Amino acid sequence: MNVENIGAAMDDVAAMPATNEDMERIRYGIERDCARRGTSAAMRDLIEGPFMRWMDAMGDARTEHGALDRADMMTIAAAMDRTLAVRDALIVSIILGEEDAPREFLLDFIARPMLPRNARRLEDLLGKSFRDAARRPGKARCDQGIDMLFDIIGVVPERYQVQPLAVIAYVLWWMGDERAMLCALRALALDEDCSLAAIVCSALHRHVGPAWTVET
């Protein structure tokens, strides 16, 4: 995405083909399946297809809009609202890429985020990306992720826009782009308890950024 157009992209979210009722049906199906089959199996089966298509698009920055269809976008948004493990996996897929964070690991993390080895590995990946000055943003990959997140925001009702906006804010912060604040504040306006957006705002206020921004 051309980040010059972030404001315009955020203004476009008013056109939302998915209703709250549409999203609640998905959420009801998720809860029912989790209760019947267990959360790990249900979440893995729910998210596997959309997440694999997300990863395919992330691996090819030439992919145009439409890498995810409407059902994929609604599923990812509902799953992100259900468990923040989906949010965290999307962040890692954008800022690090598949060489460092393979899709099978991220999918397993979504299904089993509390498994100690999964939690430790994700924490290590995020920590290294923050502390290693050699890890600079892959602009094409970050733009691709931001594009797809704005596509999701354009489909879903406001409640389900919160976490995608927070992820965009985090990625922009990681890129050293001050417009991260715009997205973080929008997320907080929709949900004042959005912890990731609050973290981004705090980091920006304190002029804290990833190591690569200090080295430049």
Q: Angle between the 116-131 and 103-111 helix axes, to the nearest 10 degrees?
A: 130
Whether residue 172 has pLDDT greater than 60: yes
Average pLDDT of 157-175?
97
Q: For residue range 82-100, what is the model confidence (pLDDT) as tens digits? A: 999 999 999 999 999 888 9
The whole-angstrom separation of Cα 209 and Cα 4 is 21
Whether residue 77 has pLDDT greater than 80: yes
Sign of CA dihedral 1, 199, 92, 78: negative
**Reported confidence tier of residue 163, pLDDT bands at 50, 70, 90:** very high
Across the chain, mean pLDDT equals: 89
Exposure b/e, 69-96, CB count within 10 A at least 16 = b: eeebbbbbbbbbbbbebbbbbbbbbbbb
Residue 185 tokens read as 């504040």
Task: Name 133's Cβ contacts closer than 8 Å, sequence gap at least 6.
Answer: 211, 212, 214, 215
Query: What φ, ψ does residue 151 adopt, rounded to 5°?
Result: -60, -45
**Reported confidence tier of residue 112, pLDDT bands at 50, 70, 90:** very high
Q: For residue range 131-162, what is the model confidence (pLDDT) as tens digits? A: 888 888 889 999 999 999 999 999 999 999 99
Least confident of 21-30, 60-69, 135-144: 60-69
pTM score of the predicted model: 0.89
Reduce the DSSP state of residue 194 to 3 states and report it.
coil
Q: What is the pLDDT of residue 59?
A: 83
